[in-house]
Amino acid sequence: NSDAIAMVTASHNENGWTGVKMGIEKGLTHSPAEMNELKKIVLENKFIKRKGSYKKIEGFKEIYINSLTKNKIKKKIKVVVACGNGTAGIFAPKVLKEIGCEVIELDCNLDYNFPKYNPNPEDLKMLHAISKAVKENNADVGFGFDGDGDRIGVIDNTGNEIYSDKVGLLIARNLAPKHKNSKFVVDVKSTGLFRDDTVLLQNNCKTIYWKTGHSHIKRKVNEEKALAGFEKSGHF
């Protein structure tokens, strides 16, 4: 219930560089326009000085994992989890094990040098490594997480990539029967199948295509009171 957020993240930056993703509205992060406004305030040194407070949450890792593992899967599946030596390696393997998956770990130890490949689920080198591991281990699915763990790439049981916009459509199809008359927001790069999908249409669900970009999609989801938003880059 905090009034503002500041996430230290460097998912798209080269090793040695980091960044901060900020937001002052619950569930939202700054848009480019707001970042320009913030830049202007900093450069002109026009700060408002007021008292504030902060609270350190102890045991955050355990709190986060517990929140993600309340529900278990009924069907046992074998999963290859690739983290590219990024921060998802702290969470993803443990979360998937605790919900009932058999996990094959691939580059899940932390190493800021990223010795194997760029931790990016759109990077072919990472996708090829996951595909190889899926086939070698006869796994049901492969997941590849980006450096800060907020995007995912999916490889099917034959070693082929399922594009993230199609994964979004699968999620929407699963949600639609339980949430009729809902809205979904997708970026303009996403597949046109959302518009014509029979499951979504049968459940009177509407798809809104919007500007590409994490902050843009989150804001549109909030404005439209949509059930979910999906980006082709792998943000869900």
Residue of 2, 11, 190, 215 marked catalytic: 11
pTM of structure: 0.85
DSSP state of 123: -
Task: Note the CATH number of domain 164-230.
Answer: 3.40.120.10
Query: Domain extents for the chain?
Result: 5-44, 74-162, 164-230
Q: What is the pLDDT of residue 23?
A: 84
Three-state DSSP class for residue 10: coil
Secondary structure element (H or E) that encloses residue 14, with its range: none
Q: What is the pLDDT of residue 82?
A: 98
Question: Would you say the CATH fold of 164-230 matches that of 74-162?
Answer: yes
Ramachandran quadrant class, 99 (left: phi over 0; alpha: psi -120 to 50; beta: rest): alpha
Amino acid at 196: D
Instruction: Tell me the sheet residues that pair with 26.
Output: none
Q: Which residue has the tokens 């404005």?
A: 223
Note down pLDDT in tens along the chain; length 236 residues: 777 888 888 766 777 788 888 888 777 888 888 889 999 999 999 988 888 788 888 999 999 999 999 999 999 999 999 999 999 999 999 999 999 999 999 999 999 888 998 899 989 999 999 999 999 999 999 999 998 888 999 999 999 999 999 999 999 999 999 999 999 999 999 999 999 999 999 999 999 999 998 888 999 999 999 999 999 988 89
Q: Which stretches within 111-210 are classed as H helix?
A: 124-136, 164-175, 193-196, 198-202
CATH topology for 74-162?
Alpha-D-Glucose-1,6-Bisphosphate; Chain A, domain 3 (3.40.120)
> Active-site residue 67, yes or no?
no
Q: Quick one: how far is CA 60 from the chain centroid?
A: 19
Secondary structure element (H or E) that encloses residue 33, with its range: helix 32-44
Q: Quick one: how far is CA 231 from the chain centroid?
A: 9
Q: Strands 183-187 and 228-230, how do they pair?
A: parallel
163: nearest Cα among 236, 99, 216: 236
Q: What is the pLDDT of residue 11?
A: 66
Secondary structure element (H or E) that encloses residue 65, with its range: helix 60-68
Q: What is the pLDDT of residue 75?
A: 92
N- to C-terminal Cα separation, the chain: 22
DSSP state of 176: G
Give, in order, the Cα–Cα distances in Å from 100 to each of 74, 103, 140, 179, 210.
8, 9, 13, 26, 36
